[in-house]
Amino acid sequence: MKSTIYNGIVVKVTEESIIILCEGGMFKNVPRPTDEVPKIGDTYTYVEKKGYSFRGAKYITLASVICLAIITYYVSSLFTNEEDAYLFAMDINPSLEIYTDDDFRVTHMEFLNEDGRTVIDTLSKEKRHIDEVLDDIIQISVEKRYLNQTKKGLVALTVVPLKEPSNFETEKVKRSVEKSVLNRSISADVSVKSGTKDLVQQSHNENLSINKYSMYKELEEKQVDVTVEEVRDHSMGSVLERVSRLEEQDVEDGKEVRNKRETSSENKPEMPSKDKSKTAEHTDENQSNDQQAKPASGKETPNRPVTNKDKAKDKFEKVKEKAEKEQEKKENLEEKGREAAEKEREKKKKAEEKAREEEEKEQEVRKKAEREREAAEKEQEENKRAEEREREEAGKPQGNNTQEKEKGEPEKKPESTEKEREEENEQGNKEHGRP
């Protein structure tokens, strides 16, 4: 089991990975640890373990080659259908592979990264013409901010005929894509190329999209210091932008070195012709001795050309300094955030206390109003009872006389009636001779 050790400065931390800048100027995307997450600006070491390589094998049997060919054919057949005639490999930041039939109607699509998955999930699943699908992809890329009006982007497309022969014209596709970009007022370069099935296989072996693999091979031919991991983990636009910055830096460094040399040569006094060769040899010897005796301080002498190692070291120091400033800025923002949160909590606490006091006052007012209402109801009830008693007392005498009459008590006769009765009795007694 082989292993590679990467040492560098943490420049970015995401939920799944961290990006470190190694001393050679190379960016490395490594998995994020679960136990302890580093901060931006920290020095980080990552050990990458690799399996044994089979490149050194001396003997490969014919049977192994045949089996490998069969497996390759079987695997490739899993991703293509018999009706597939063309493969449109598209890279913006989303990386997609779009398969069409002979009439350029889309049969199926494959995504090569998470942004590609997002685009495919948004697209309609109907079988449509490739021009319509490419236009929809441009629209979705604008909506998802993969393309915008402020920063210049890149739309790379490689068309691979899957059936031979083919007379496909890439210019038609390029005009269609350029029209889609122009209709949305987007700043982006459009690149449309043709490819082969071998190119597809080679890109898949490197776990790269077809466009990224082609770009990587072109940069490799130009001897640009870029790795497969950098190309895989970043968009094509960002990789080309980084390469452009390095080339501009190389040009500026070259101009600076030439200017220093010209200035140095102009300031030298002119020697006699017979002593020039001897003086030049003596000067070269002194410069060589001075370079050997002078300790390495990271500063370049005016006459020494700037190497890629020096530029990488300077860039490493600048990125490290920038990362430290970013970390300090982040800590200051976090401190301000904590202070603001503390003030907000204190303010919220006071507001809650005030709200509780107001609530207690309202409850007291409600209780007082309830007591007053109960007292008023009680007083009203007592007044009602008093009125009923008064009515009962007012009607009581009439009720008693009526009851006495109903009981059959003898009524008092008038005195005149009694006298008349006595007179009648006396008269009757006289008539009958009774005393």
Lowest mean pLDDT among 190-199, 233-242, 360-369: 233-242
- Taking residues 31-38, report their average pLDDT: 81
User: Which residue type, as a one-letter code, is found at position 224?
Assistant: V
Q: Which residue has the higher pLDDT, 197 or 400?
A: 197
Winning range, highest mean pLDDT, from 150-154, 280-284, 350-354: 350-354
Q: Tokens standing for 16?
A: 């799944």
Burial tier of 204 (Cβ tally within 10 Å: 0-12, 13-18, 19+):
middle
**pLDDT tens digits, one per residue of 219-278:** 888 888 888 888 888 888 888 887 777 766 666 655 555 565 566 555 555 544 444 444
165: preceding bond cis by omega (within 30 degrees): yes
- Taking residues 393-413, report their average pLDDT: 58
What distance in Å separates the CA atoms of residue 54 and residue 318, rounded to the nearest whole number?
40
pLDDT attached to residue 429 = 63
pLDDT attached to residue 406 = 53
What distance in Å separates the CA atoms of residue 137 and residue 70, rounded to the nearest whole number?
35
31: preceding bond cis by omega (within 30 degrees): no
For residue 300, pLDDT beyond 50: no
Residue 308 has φ and ψ, to the nearest 5°, of -65, -35
Lowest mean pLDDT among 80-89, 195-204, 352-361: 80-89
User: Which residue type, as a one-letter code, is found at position 355?
Assistant: A
User: Which residue type, as a one-letter code, is found at position 329?
Assistant: K
For residue 357, pLDDT beyond 60: yes
**pLDDT tens digits, one per residue of 61-109:** 444 544 444 444 444 444 456 678 999 999 998 999 999 999 999 999 9
Q: Given CA atoms 336, 337, 339, 340 in this order, what sign does their dihedral have?
A: positive
Q: Tokens standing for 18?
A: 């961290």
Residue 162 has φ and ψ, to the nearest 5°, of -95, -10
pLDDT attached to residue 60 = 46
Nearest to 309 by CA among 301, 300, 320, 322: 300
Winning range, highest mean pLDDT, from 83-97, 318-332, 410-424: 83-97
Reported confidence tier of residue 367, pLDDT bands at 50, 70, 90: very high
In the chain, % of residues over pLDDT 90? 28
**pLDDT tens digits, one per residue of 164-191:** 777 778 899 999 999 999 999 888 899 9
DSSP type of residue 341: H
pLDDT attached to residue 226 = 82
Sequence-ordered strand ranges (E) for 24-85: 27-31, 43-50
Please name every residue paired with 193 in a beta bridge, in sequence order, or none if there are none: 158
Sequence-ordered strand ranges (E) for 243-323: none
Reported confidence tier of residue 428, pLDDT bands at 50, 70, 90: low
Say if residues 147 and 186 touch (Cβ distance below 8 Å): yes
Q: Given CA atoms 267, 269, 270, 276 in this order, what sign does their dihedral have?
A: negative
Q: Tokens standing for 423?
A: 């007179």
pLDDT attached to residue 163 = 84
Helix (H) or strand (E) holding 202: helix 197-205
Q: Tokens standing for 239?
A: 């990789």
Phi-psi region of 45 (alpha: psi -120 to 50; beta: other; left: phi over 0): beta
For residue 136, pLDDT beyond 60: yes
CA 290 to chain centre: 55
What distance in Å separates the CA atoms of residue 179 and residue 189, rounded to the nearest whole number?
12
pLDDT attached to residue 21 = 82
pLDDT attached to residue 76 = 45
pLDDT attached to residue 9 = 87
**pLDDT tens digits, one per residue of 331-344:** 888 888 888 888 88
pLDDT attached to residue 24 = 65
Reported confidence tier of residue 398, pLDDT bands at 50, 70, 90: low
DSSP type of residue 272: P
- Taking residues 144-159, report their average pLDDT: 90
What distance in Å separates the CA atoms of residue 232 and residue 29, rounded to the nearest whole number?
10
pLDDT attached to residue 65 = 43
For residue 34, pLDDT beyond 60: yes
Residue 21 has a CB neighbour count (10 Å cut-off) of 22
Residue 283 has φ and ψ, to the nearest 5°, of -65, -45
CA angle 228, 190, 100 (to 5 degrees): 85
- Sorted by sequence, the CB contacts under 8 Å of residue 260 that are 6+ apart come out as 302, 303
Residue 269 to residues 266, 272, 279, 288, 302: CA-CA distances in angstroms? 8, 10, 12, 21, 18
pLDDT attached to residue 267 = 54
